[in-house]
Amino acid sequence: MAFIFNPFSSLPVQETFILVEPAPSIVLRGTPVVIKAKASGRIPDRLSLKVWQETGDMIHLEMMPEGNDGFSHRISSVQNSFRYQVLSSRANSPGYFVRVVDAPDIGKIKLTLIPPDYTRLLREVKTDGHIEALKGTIVNLEVQATKVLKEGKLILNQKEQIPLKIEGEQLQGNFLVFHPGSYSLSLRDELGFENLNPVQYRIHLVPDKYPQGEIISPAEDLEVMDSNVLPIIYSANDDFGVTAIRLIYQKGGIERAVTLKSFKEVRTVGPEVFEWDLAGLALAPEDRVAYRLEVWDNDSISGPKAGYSRTLTLHLRDEKDRTAREMERAQKIVEALLDLLADQLEELKDRKALSDEIVRIMEMVAKHLERMGLEKVERFDLESLNRNLATLNRRIDTLPKETATQEMERLSLLSDDLVKKTRMHGVEALAREIKNRQRGLIDTLRLPSVNPMAADIGVAGSLVLCK
């Protein structure tokens, strides 16, 4: 019946229909674009693509069959906006337009670095985006983008996100530098496109150096007497400021401190002199004291840091043994002078022999002075004896016998006084040792109830500075 009433219904379809799946109307420059089409009705063997670029002539492109009557063409990297249309030999699709835009990006960047207040450094402006700054530096960020933005964020170390203030193409914000690493800027425009693979800007922390201290004098370990006042010449410096200088010393495994100077903010100190009264240490013979300079800086971000000088030691010599040796040498000088006087009285030697004997005694005195080291400057009696011997030796050939004898008697009495003075020094040394041992015993008995770090009057103030 169908053939009777509609004899043309059994004839094959002659018309072709093309349905295009439009590509996105707005795409990023450099991204791929896929254009798909599907044919119906009379299915053609091939479909082609007409493309009209913003610049240049129209071009023809072949579409690849995909099965199920589908065709497609992929533009791997689109660079300019264009219009396109799919066609066959029998049909054309409507025309479509693809707009190509750029992703948002950074045009200019400006960083204002504000160092911590304690450094008293000036602000620094940088335009390369990278940061080299002290810990605690505030960074003011100003960015000129390439297009109007809807959203902007600073990504710190690929974790923390800090929103930025946006006004058209301008972004502003600030952050605090506390750790090394990197940061980047995530931008989103009004179309929703983001900057892909943003630049990673470097964050490098410039260290706040440790303060430095130096003990200029003494320059080496010393052997001392506990009654001495030891002058210590020292200096200190820091890149931003010294706040305190202490002398740290250790005796018997206990460390104590004396505050030498406190400052508000001084970068360089000294050379200055501290008169260290060693009598207050209550040293016993053979005691050793290790000491060094401790310098604190003014770092208010990470906390004050301490720098130290090299460690020197004081060694208290045994005065009893020293005095005994000194008495022995002095006694030999006395005996030599008495022998000289006896030879003079008995006329056993001529003037030349007497002169040689005087020279020998002078050498004994000189060696005695040399062994005394620094203390010889206080022994005027020995120096006086040596000068008198030298005077007698120069005049021995011309002096009358009686005058020479009187001079030798006087020198014998002077050397005898020397022995008495040396013996008195021994008694004083023994008294000092007893006193120091008593003081050391008292300090030891107090240790269980007294904080060792507070044993020195200078420690309390220095602990406050350390905090």
* Same structural domain, 192 and 115: yes
Q: Are residues 436 and 323 in the same domain?
A: yes
Same domain for 122 and 134, yes or no, is yes
Q: Residue 392 and residue 226: Cα distance in Å, rounded? A: 38
Q: Looking at the structure, do residues 394 and 428 belong to the same domain, yes or no?
A: yes
Domain membership of residue 39 (yes or no) is yes
80 and 95 fall within a common domain: yes
Give the span between the Cα atoms of 27 and 57, in whole angstroms: 21
| Same domain? 333 vs 423 | yes
User: Can you give the pLDDT at residue 306?
Assistant: 93
pLDDT along the chain (467 residues), means of 10: 60 74 88 92 88 85 89 92 90 91 93 93 93 94 93 91 92 92 93 90 93 91 74 92 92 86 84 86 77 92 92 76 68 74 72 79 75 52 72 76 76 70 62 60 54 38 33
φ, ψ of residue 59 to 5 degrees: the values are -125, 150
Say how many Å lie between the first and final Cα of the chain, rounded.
Answer: 109
The predicted pLDDT at position 97 comes to 93
Residues 307 and 362 reside in one and the same domain:
no
CB atoms within 10 A of CB 129: 19
Domain count, the chain: 4
- Final residue belonging to a domain, choices 278, 302, 317: 317
Question: What is the span of the domain harbouring residue 235?
Answer: 212-317
The reported pLDDT for the residue numbered 454 is 38
Helix ranges, 285-400 (H): 319-346, 351-372, 380-395
Q: Please check whether residues 326 and 424 belong to one and the same domain.
A: yes
457 found inside a domain: no
Q: Residue 169: give its domain's CATH number.
A: 2.60.40
Tell whether 451 is covered by a domain. no
In a domain, 88, yes or no: yes
Using an 8 Å Cβ cutoff, are 418 and 333 in contact?
yes
SS3 content of the chain, % helix, strand, coil (to 5): 30, 40, 30
Residue whose C-alpha is closest to residue 28's, from 102, 91, 88, 90: 102
Angstrom CA distances, 244 to 158, 191, 274, stand at 40, 60, 14
Return the CATH number at 380.
1.20.120
Q: Is 313 in the same domain as 339? A: no
Same domain for 334 and 301? no
pTM: 0.60
Domain end point (choices 101, 125, 147): 101
Inter-residue contact 206 to 238 (CB < 8 Å): no
A 10 A CB-CB count for 357 gives 19
Whether residues 247 and 272 fall in one domain = yes
In a domain, 466, yes or no: no
9 lies in some domain: no
CATH of the domain at 23: 2.60.40.10
The answer to whether residue 124 is domain-embedded is yes
Position 467 scores a pLDDT of: 30
- Using the Cα atoms of residue 330, residue 336, residue 341 and residue 342 in order, give the sign of their dihedral: positive
pLDDT value at position 236?
93
Question: What is the structure's pLDDT at 49?
Answer: 92
Residue 10, domain member (yes or no): no
Burial of 309 (0-12, 13-18, 19+ CB in 10 A): buried
pLDDT score of 466 = 34
Select from 271, 211, 155, 197 the least CA-distant residue to 30: 197
Co-location of 348 and 432 in the same domain = yes
Among the candidates 317, 340, 360, a domain finishes at 317
DSSP-assigned letters across all residues of 59-115: EEEEPEEEETTEEEEEESS--S-EEEEEE-SS-BPPPEEEEEEPPP-EEEEEEEEE-
Radius of gyration of the chain from its Cα atoms, rounded to whole angstroms: 50
pLDDT of residue 54: 83
